[in-house]
Amino acid sequence: MSGADKMENAADKAVGKAKEAAGEATGNESLEAEGKADQTKANLKQAGENIKDAFKK
């Protein structure tokens, strides 16, 4: 996996955490859920990249 992909996934996860925290702080359940979904999406992308890397070796 390239460094750019790792940084993009980390950034997506950080944005998701920020959305989740903002949603919790304001009582906005949809924003909180969106943040959790963004984090899950970033984790799945990361897992896919790890699988690709495993097959390249």
What pLDDT score was predicted for residue 2? 72
**Two tokens at 26?**
């304001």
**Does residue 1 carry a pLDDT above 90?**
no
| Better-scored residue on pLDDT, 2 or 10 | 10
pLDDT in tens, 6-57: 899 999 999 999 999 999 999 999 999 999 999 999 999 999 988 988 888 7
What pLDDT score was predicted for residue 16? 96
Residue 41 and residue 45: Cα distance in Å, rounded? 6
